[in-house]
Structure 1
């Protein structure tokens, strides 16, 4: 299912994409047939199909499921049972998801062939970008790429994030030579396990080679902004290194240090230029100032990353923001065939040979204006009586939840992404990513849903109750104006027997403990981002005066909400609503502790 072609031949790459999208139906049928023929005798499928590989029987008998359905099988493999309980091909590693609602990262099975499929996918991004942006072969990309901690399961399999898996693979290190794959960051700096040393060295290398940089990027918008904040904190030291030609002594990783030292030479002119730009009163347009040949910024700015667009536009100096691809730990899905489109117009064309795709129709409730206006995107969870439809049968303008059957052992698996059909490229539909199902808060790779938030708040308010305080209402939002961003909770409190709470009655230590308690009860992905990655700042609780949530309801009703159907939104995105609550704040408190983090509860050891 992976056609061979020369990745340096953009014309051949575009022709291949045309063939894939023109024959979407036929390829999808071949994909399903191959998956079933290969895996029909696995324990999971045999329980439904009794060893048959008939496609019609597959749709009739195999249920649409979620992670809880396949989790026992994956955990058995992690603990040493053979791969063939879900896959006829050897499971070579487990890919940990970026987010979960179950308190621990999900683990997705992967095979050696799966790495080849990802490499095939990445290679197809090149001809698309070359079609829209000329001269990319005349310079380098300053991409800030990082690895994250990995573990070894009792079976000896590695469990690690999908990008860590790819960057550590021979497929990445021996990637086909083309100028699109030439980065300012040496592989040694990308593979450095110390994120601070990695960040410093990658920025240093990018600055040294500034005249060659044609594109700047990271995987997520949040990661690029974190790098810019790091640059704000360390630019003087970076200037000193460039001026002297000597790497700071605290860079102790030998591979990292050697790789940087090979390209670092004394350059007082560059140091002077950088000092002039970075010491100014404003960093507006700093990317264009430091890397003047940059043609675009490549980061994911769809979904929860859209909240960073205004900040990126401030730093970018008017450069296009490009989201090239749509992928997850489960599978790589689609490519943006119009990469220079505005972030709000980005759509992804699913490549039909990556997996077998199905879709659960999602009914949108357009009458609950308080949900749309105050709580962002919302869908009714009524998919139990709706038919699953195939890739080529989706309808323009309709909303769907993505379901995948992969080559690696996931069968009719609900990814949890809500998509809208925006058009077609040949016979392949194009989708706009709307949001993650049930997720209400996200800063980086964390994904906190309403239930997770409720559980954490419930644990925190226990601290207040013995003191006579009652939490009468709460809501939240992701504050991304600061770097790193952080969760903000609005709490309305009252004292038993009293009608009001004033700032003087709030014990700062107690409220800070509430902040810390919330963080300790959020899932391990959030806690990893706080403790290990430092990509999320301390959680904040803003206590508002009595009647603030009544004012919130009054505003929503004034905008057309039904009083009878109104529910307090647990996450708010409207600036007007945030301003209403901010104007009534009587106390602000931050977590003073870094939450504990352990990647898994099973017996593992960190590599």
Structure 2
């Protein structure tokens, strides 16, 4: 513990030194390359020592998960009135707040729960309250699998932080980023992504693209797609200070098209680091098919409710899996899937069964709240009995105007089927809402779904084409079909919005977590309504 503490202190000293000499991340305009290389080399040495200790500590904690969780729970409770290890953590009596029953507010409708699970799997941005071990382990894993990824100024970061949070690697390795920290603290999200993209374009030797959420990388590369000529002019004219020079060939690569453009602009790219919650699956798919084709994607952290729960130690695998770290948050599990409809009764981390599907119940430092988080975890056991969730599934929200309960992820699959029936159409983005949110403006018809989509390849749809979505929903959800046949649910109303409308919506919303697919507030609904073109 002492060694790890000294390593963190030294890393913070190096970070403060970098800020004093001209700004973390960019290397500073007033600092020469040798100073940058020296700082980076020292930080890597400290990182290696700290990572080795953290790996040994994690391995030891994973060998005795039950004891690790008991000690953590005692720490969270402050020791006051808590049971001794071996007696308290395994009993439900130590918690005074009962779990909500299945089917209640926790299991479905978004509001509060959406905020709790946003970033599950977690964003690579962390706050001071999260374990310092996370960034150290993440950087060590990255260096082990992608040896060139930790080069000085070799990572482009895309995120709007409002100056209140730092990238995961900012403490232990502040010289990693090609743009200064201030680039993420400009007045708006759109401006931040634009400035960060400018800094990235001048660094031909980038090894990694990083974003807090995959939507931020999607929007940054969307800026490149929509306005690369203006970006090139800004780079050539040096409108930002210090003068930014245009790398040779940038214009030519953009003019060639967008498939694989990231690797053509930055030939040494090795990895894309970004959180990809289920609500942002659409953006990850689009990037893999076009701009980031051929690049591996790596989500390093699994987090929820302000707590870091686990780390992805296997970035080389295409399907993300995470080692739940028993010393980071107290975890219980509600059995999910077939035969799990009874009263809530949790299973402790040490008692999960291989192959069983669970919902996570989290007790973390932030508020000491004990609440179920709708993250379904198929948990084949990892070495030393610490479970490794695969394919984290986050059914954050549902559409339900008559109790039919259509989960957002399954709605997305129905929408994709409908889009495939529209010749030439490609889905760019979408949100949906229940008609009750519109109030009297929804008309006198039965409750229904309002769906807003941005498409590429078509300008308009016929009424018959729009109705395809309602047909797909009826085929995929028998309960919905029953209500439709009875007339107690009206047909889906599908609206086309202008190009860029959803990027504007995210810019207006600010850094509030993953994209909400089911709107629960009137303000964003009215915003997207104002962009309807058909």
Partner in structure 2 of residue 524 of structure 1: none
Map Cα deviations across residues 487-512 of structure 1 (whole Å, 9 max, x no partner): xxx9xxxxxxxxxxx969xxxxxxxx
Change (3 A) 1:26 1:165: farther
Partner in structure 2 of residue 351 of structure 1: 325
Among 371, 380, 384, the residue aligned to 1:422? 380
Shift of 1:107: 12
Partner in structure 1 of residue 228 of structure 2: 235
Partner in structure 2 of residue 75 of structure 1: none
Kindly report which structure 2 residues correspond to 1:182-261, keeping only aligned pairs within 5 A, or say none. Answer: 182-211=176-205, 213-247=206-240, 261=241
Among 146, 157, 178, the residue aligned to 1:133? 146
Find the aligned partners of 2:387 and 2:91 in 1 and give their Cα distance.
23
Among 440, 462, 482, the residue aligned to 1:462? 440
Find the aligned partners of 1:551 and 1:114 in 2 and give their Cα distance.
42
Find the aligned partners of 1:102 and 1:64 in 2 and give their Cα distance.
17
Map Cα deviations across residues 139-186 of structure 1 (whole Å, 9 max, x no partner): 4111112125xxxxxxxxxxxxxxx64329xx976x2347xx610121
Change (3 A) 1:114 1:135: closer
Q: Give the match's secondary structure for 2:390.
A: strand
Contact 1:330 1:415 in 2 (8 A): no
Contact 1:359 1:403 in 2 (8 A): yes
Map Cα deviations across residues 487-539 of structure 1 (whole Å, 9 max, x no partner): xxx9xxxxxxxxxxx969xxxxxxxxxxxxxxxxxxxxxxxxxxxxxxxxxxx
State TM-score, norm by structure 2. 0.65
Contact 2:355 2:380 in 1 (8 A): yes
Among 146, 151, 163, the residue aligned to 2:160? 146
Kindly report which structure 2 residues correspond to 1:87-486, keeping only aligned pairs within 5 A, or say none. Answer: 100-102=110-112, 115=128, 117-139=130-152, 140-148=154-162, 165-167=164-166, 175-177=171-173, 182-211=176-205, 213-247=206-240, 261-262=241-242, 264-267=243-246, 270=247, 272-280=248-256, 282-313=257-288, 314-342=290-318, 345-364=319-338, 382=341, 384-385=343-344, 387-440=345-398, 456-460=434-438, 462-463=440-441, 465=443, 470-471=445-446, 474=449
Change (3 A) 1:23 1:166: farther
Find the aligned partners of 1:480 and 1:192 in 2 and give their Cα distance.
28
Shift of 1:24: 2.4
Find the aligned partners of 1:240 and 1:216 in 2 and give their Cα distance.
23
Change (3 A) 1:425 1:587: closer
Partner in structure 1 of residue 424 of structure 2: none
Q: Give the match's secondary structure for 2:183.
A: helix
Q: Give the match's secondary structure for 2:361.
A: strand
Q: Give the match's secondary structure for 1:458.
A: helix
Find the aligned partners of 1:132 and 1:193 in 2 and give their Cα distance.
36
State TM-score, norm by structure 1. 0.58
Contact 2:76 2:368 in 1 (8 A): no
Shift of 1:289: 0.7
Shift of 1:568: 3.9
Shift of 1:327: 1.2
Contact 1:401 1:419 in 2 (8 A): yes
Contact 1:398 1:420 in 2 (8 A): yes
Shift of 1:287: 0.5
Find the aligned partners of 1:209 and 1:551 in 2 and give their Cα distance.
46
Shift of 1:398: 1.1
Contact 2:335 2:357 in 1 (8 A): yes
Q: Give the match's secondary structure for 1:431.
A: coil
Change (3 A) 1:461 1:115: closer
Q: Give the match's secondary structure for 2:155.
A: strand
Change (3 A) 1:125 1:266: closer
Change (3 A) 1:340 1:479: farther
Contact 1:302 1:346 in 2 (8 A): no
Q: Give the match's secondary structure for 1:143.
A: strand
Contact 1:350 1:428 in 2 (8 A): yes
Find the aligned partners of 2:132 and 2:313 in 1 and give their Cα distance.
18
Map Cα deviations across residues 425-455 of structure 1 (whole Å, 9 max, x no partner): 32211012443245248xxxxx9799xx998
Map Cα deviations across residues 340-372 of structure 1 (whole Å, 9 max, x no partner): 211xx211111111111111111248xxxxxxx
Change (3 A) 1:587 1:312: closer
Change (3 A) 1:417 1:191: same
Contact 1:284 1:316 in 2 (8 A): yes
Shift of 1:104: 9.6
Find the aligned partners of 1:569 and 1:351 in 2 and give their Cα distance.
45
More strand by share: 1
Find the aligned partners of 1:312 and 1:569 in 2 and give their Cα distance.
38
2:20 aligned with 1:27: no
Find the aligned partners of 1:242 and 1:200 in 2 and give their Cα distance.
12
Shift of 1:124: 1.5
Unaligned runs of 5+ in 1: 69-98, 149-163, 248-260, 366-379, 442-446, 484-489, 491-501, 505-541, 571-583, 602-607
Find the aligned partners of 1:104 and 1:324 in 2 and give their Cα distance.
21
Number of equivalenced pairs: 414
Change (3 A) 1:549 1:103: same
Change (3 A) 1:207 1:549: closer
Find the aligned partners of 1:131 and 1:551 in 2 and give their Cα distance.
46
Contact 1:302 1:323 in 2 (8 A): no
Contact 1:303 1:433 in 2 (8 A): no
Alpha-carbon RMSD: 4.5
Unaligned runs of 5+ in 2: 8-45, 102-108, 119-125, 400-406, 411-430, 484-490, 513-520, 522-534
Map Cα deviations across residues 194-226 of structure 1 (whole Å, 9 max, x no partner): 223211211111111222x11112122111111
Q: Give the match's secondary structure for 1:436.
A: coil
Find the aligned partners of 1:137 and 1:383 in 2 and give their Cα distance.
49
Contact 2:110 2:396 in 1 (8 A): no
